[in-house]
Amino acid sequence: MSVDQSDITKVALLARLKIDEADVPQYVENLSNILGLVEQMGEVDTDNVVPMAHPLDAAQRLRADEVTETDQRDAFQGLAPQVESGLYLVPKVIE
């Protein structure tokens, strides 16, 4: 399986990654090679195999619906690039 430049552009958009135009050919080559490696999987007959999502086949543990976390908003917002009045700021979304 090989990918072309339009695949790279599409997948970069899906992943929200800005890729320099000049780097696209390199990504085409690298991703095509990696998908070539992955292609070997297609030769295996897995019709009756149950997919394995978790190494121990464990079930999700549940806990009581109780508030256990304390409010640390100031500490967390101290790490943010831009905040104001307790809100995270981003460029204007709605005019």
Partner 1 sequence: MHTKTITQLSAALRSGEVSSVELTSLFLDRIKRHNPALNCFITVTEAEALKAAAAADRRLKAGDVAPLTGVPIAHKDIFCTQGVKTTCASKMLDNFIAPYESTCTAKFAEAGAVMLGKTNMDEFAMGSSNETSYYGAVKNPWDLARVPGGSSGGSVSAVAARLAPAATGTDTGGSIRQPAALCGLTGLKPTYGRVSRFGMIAFASSLDQAGPITYSAEDAALLMNVMAGFDEHDSTSVEREVPDYTAGLDNGIEGLRIGLPKEYFDEGLDDSVARVIDAAVKQYEALGAVVREISLPNTGLAVPTYYVVAPAECSSNLSRFDGVRFGYRCDDPQDLFDLYTRSRGEGFGAEVKRRIMIGAYVLSAGYYDAYYLQAQKIRRLISDDFRAAFESVDVIMGPTSPSTAFRLGEKSDDPVTMYLSDIYTIAVNMAGLPAASIPAGFVDGLPVGLQLIGNYFEESHLLNVAHKYQQATDWHLQMPKEF
| Subset of 36-95 contacting partner 1 (CB under 8 A) | 36-42, 44, 46, 49-56, 58, 60-61, 63, 72, 75-76, 78-82, 88, 90-93
Single-letter residue type at 3: V
Residue for token digits 């297609």? 42
Q: 8-27 mask for partner 1 (x: CB under 8 A)?
A: x--xx-xxxxxxx------x
> Total residues contacting partner 1 (rule CB under 8 A)?
52
Amino acid identity, position 26: Q
Distance of CA 86 to the CA centre of its chain: 27
The amino acid present at 19, given as its one-letter code, is: I
The smaller minimum CB distance to partner 1, of residues 25 and 30, is found at 30
The binding site for partner 1 (CB under 8 A) comprises 3, 7-8, 11-12, 14-20, 27, 30-31, 33-42, 44, 46, 49-56, 58, 60-61, 63, 72, 75-76, 78-82, 88, 90-93
